[in-house]
Structure 1
Amino acid sequence: MRYLGLILLLLALAALSLAAGRVWLAPPALIEALSDPEGAGRMVWNLRLPRLLVGMIAGAGFGLSGLVFQTLLRNPLASPDVIGVTQVSAFGAVAALFFGAPVVLGAWGGGLAAIAALAWLAAHPRQGFDPRAVVLQGLALAIFAAAGTEALILRMGDSSAGMAMTWLSGTLNGAGWAEVQRGVWFAPLLLPLLLSGRVLDRLELGDDLARALGLRVGLLRAGLGLIAALVAAGSVALCGPMSFVALAAGPVGRLVAGGRPSPVAAMLTGAAFVTLADVLARAMAPAALLPTGLYTALIGAPVLILTVRRMAQS
C-alpha cells in the first residue's frame, strides 16, 4: 500500500503526458485517440506514447542507479550525476557520435570507464576502498569528462554539434519507437537493482555488520555498482543526462518507504520526475520544444532541498 500513491501519481502523469502538447486532448478525445491508432490517434501513438515510454524507462533507470550509489557509498550526494558516472557516459556517447559508432555502446563504455576510474582513485593502499573519497574524486572526474565533451563538440560540424548540445541538455524531443525498442532491451538491467532492496538495507548498516550477517561486501558493492553504472549509462544513451533525477529520487523514495532504501520507490519516483518535467516542457512552451532536463533541474532542486530538510528534522 505504501507504493500505491506513487503508482497512482505516475499513472495520472502518464495520462497528462499523452494529453499535453500544442494540441491538448480532453479525456474523451484521448480515449478515442488511443482506441484508433490508424486514424485520430496517430499523433498520440507515433509521437506522444513513445516519448512517454522512453522518459519513464530513463527516469526509472536514473532513480534506481541513484539510490544504489547513495546506499553503497552511504552518502546522499553520491548519485551518478555527482560522482561523474553520468558525465563520463555522456562523453562516451558524444565520442561515439563523433566517430560514427553506436551511441549506446559509447555511453556504456563511458559508464564502465567511470566505475573503473573511481575504484582506482578511491582505493587506499592500506585501508582498501574508501567510500568517502568517491564523491570528491567523482566531482573531479565529472569536470574532466565535461571538458573532454566540450572539446569533442568544438571539433564537430555545426549540425552535429547542435545535435550534441541539445542532447546533452537532456531531451525527449524526437523520441520514437526505435528509442522505445532500445529501452526495452536495456530494461532487463533494472531487474537486479529492483531485487536488491534487502541487500541494500543490510549494506547500509556498515561493512562490519553486513559481513557478520553473511554478506560478501566487496563483491556485492562491485557488482551492484557496475550494474548501476550500466543502468545510468543506458538512461543517458536514451535521452541524455537529466539533472537531479538520480540525486533526488533516492531520498524521496526513502520517505515513501519509511526511511529505508527502496528500489521500487526510487524507480517510480524517477519515472514520475521525468514524466512531470516533460509535461511541463510541453505545457509551458509547446512551440519552443525546450529540453526536459531543464525542468528536471527546476523540479529536482527544490524537492531535494525540502527532502533533505525533512530527513534532517526526523
Structure 2
Amino acid sequence: MRVALLIAVTLALALAALAIGRSWLAPQAVLAALADPEGTGRMIWGLRMPRLLVGLIAGAGLGLSGLVFQTLLRNPLASPDIIGITQSAAFGAVCAMMTGGAVMAGAWIGALAGTVVIGWLAWDRRSGISARAAVLQGLGLAILCSAATEALILRASDGNAGMAMTWLTGTLNGIGWPQVQQALWLLPLALPLLLSGRTLDRLELPDDLARALGVRVPQARIGLAALAALLTGGVVALTGPLGFVALAAGPLSRRLARGRPSPVLAALIGASFVTLADILARAISPAALLPTGLYTALIGAPILLIVLAAEFRRNRY
C-alpha cells in the first residue's frame, strides 16, 4: 500500500514537471503533446522529458545510496553527502573536467576512493568500522575535498571555472537526451540495491546472528558500499551535488516502513524529492533557472530535522 501510494505521488509529480515551466500546460495538453512530437510535443520531448527522467533516476539513486550507507553504519547521519562520498566524487569529476577526461569516470574514481579512505580511517581491529568515527572522519574528508575542489576551480580558466561552479550548485538545467543515456548506465548499479532489502535488514543485526541467517557479512558490506558509492558518483557526474536528498530519504522511508530499511521506498522518496525540487525551481523563477540543489536543501533540511528528532526520541537508531 505504501509503495503504491508513493508510486502514485511520483507519477503525479512527473506529470506536473512536464506541465510546469515558462509555458504552463494543462494536464490534457501534456497528454496530447506526449502523443504528438510536433508543436508543443517538441518542447515536452526535447526539453522537459530528458530533465524529468534524469531527475527521477538521480533522486532514486541518491535515496538508495543514502539508505545503504545509513544502514551499513547504523547511523542516520551516515549519508554520502555527510561522510564525504559526494564531495570526493565531485572532486574527481572536477579533476576530469579540468583535464578533459570523462566526468563520469572521474566521479566514480573519486567516490570509490572516498569510500576506501573512510573505511580505512574508521577501522578498528576489535570492533570493525566505527559508525561514529566514520561520520566524524567523513566530515573531515568532505571539508578537505570541498577545499581541494575550490582550489582546482581557482586555477582553472574562466570558462571551465564558470562551468564547474554552475555544476557544483546541483542543477538539472541543460539536461538533454545524451545525459539520459548516461543516466541509464546507473540502472545496473541501482537494481541490486533495490533488491537488497532483506540483506540490509539482516545486516542491522549483530554480525554473528546475521551470519547464522546466511549473510556473508564482510562481502555484503563491501559489495553494497561499493555499489552505493558508484551510484552516488554517477549521480554527481550528471547533476552535481544535490544536497539533503540522500540524507532525508533514508529516515523518511524508515518511518513509512516501520523502522526497517526499504530500498524501494527510499528510491521513490528520492525520485519524488528531486522532481518536486525541480518543479519549484521552474515554477517560482522560470526565467532565472535557479539550481535544483537550492530547493532540495530548502525542502530537505526542515524535513530532516523533524524526522530525525522523532527518530531519536523513539531510539530507533
Q: TM (normalized to structure 2)?
A: 0.97
- Farther-moved stretch of structure 1 (121-130 vs 92-101): 121-130
Please state how far the C-alpha of 1:132 moved relative to its aligned partner.
Answer: 2.7
The one-letter code matched in structure 2 to 1:89 is: A
Please state how far the C-alpha of 1:35 moved relative to its aligned partner.
Answer: 1.2
Unmatched segments (≥5 aa) in structure 1: none
For residues 164-195 of structure 1, what are the alpha-carbon distances to aligned partners after superposition, in whole Å with 9 as ceiling and x for unaligned? 11110100000000000001122111011011
Conserved 8 A contact 1:2-1:256 = yes
Cα distance change of structure 1 residues 256 and 128 upon mapping to structure 2, 3 Å threshold: closer
Please state how far the C-alpha of 1:4 moved relative to its aligned partner.
Answer: 1.4
Instruction: Tell me the equivalent position of 1:41.
Output: 41
Distance 2:180 2:46 in 1: 11
Conserved 8 A contact 1:169-1:291 = yes
Distance 2:147 2:313 in 1: 38
For residues 203-231 of structure 1, what are the alpha-carbon distances to aligned partners after superposition, in whole Å with 9 as ceiling and x for unaligned? 11222321232322111111110111001
Conserved 8 A contact 1:3-1:256 = no
Distance 2:283 2:259 in 1: 34
Distance 1:145 1:137 in 2: 12
For residues 259-310 of structure 1, what are the alpha-carbon distances to aligned partners after superposition, in whole Å with 9 as ceiling and x for unaligned? 2100000000000000000000000000000000000000101111121233
Please state how far the C-alpha of 1:255 moved relative to its aligned partner.
Answer: 1.4
The one-letter code matched in structure 2 to 1:259 is: G
Instruction: Tell me the equivalent position of 2:104.
Output: 104
The one-letter code matched in structure 2 to 1:297 is: A
**Aligned positions of 1:157-236 closer than 5 A:** 157-236=157-236
**Aligned positions of 1:23-38 closer than 5 A:** 23-38=23-38
**Aligned positions of 1:72-151 closer than 5 A:** 72-151=72-151
Instruction: Tell me the equivalent position of 1:256.
Output: 256
Unmatched segments (≥5 aa) in structure 2: none
Distance 1:305 1:126 in 2: 33
Distance 1:94 1:168 in 2: 9
Instruction: Tell me the equivalent position of 2:20.
Output: 20
Distance 1:127 1:245 in 2: 30
Distance 1:95 1:239 in 2: 16
Asked whether 1:304 is paired with 2:304, we answer yes
Q: Say what the alpha-carbon RMSD is for the aligned residues.
A: 1.1
- Farther-moved stretch of structure 1 (142-151 vs 299-308): 299-308
Please state how far the C-alpha of 1:233 moved relative to its aligned partner.
Answer: 0.6
The one-letter code matched in structure 2 to 1:62 is: L
Instruction: Tell me the equivalent position of 1:285.
Output: 285
Distance 1:80 1:104 in 2: 17
Asked whether 1:274 is paired with 2:254, we answer no
Please state how far the C-alpha of 1:126 moved relative to its aligned partner.
Answer: 4.3
Please state how far the C-alpha of 1:313 moved relative to its aligned partner.
Answer: 4.4
The one-letter code matched in structure 1 to 2:234 is: G
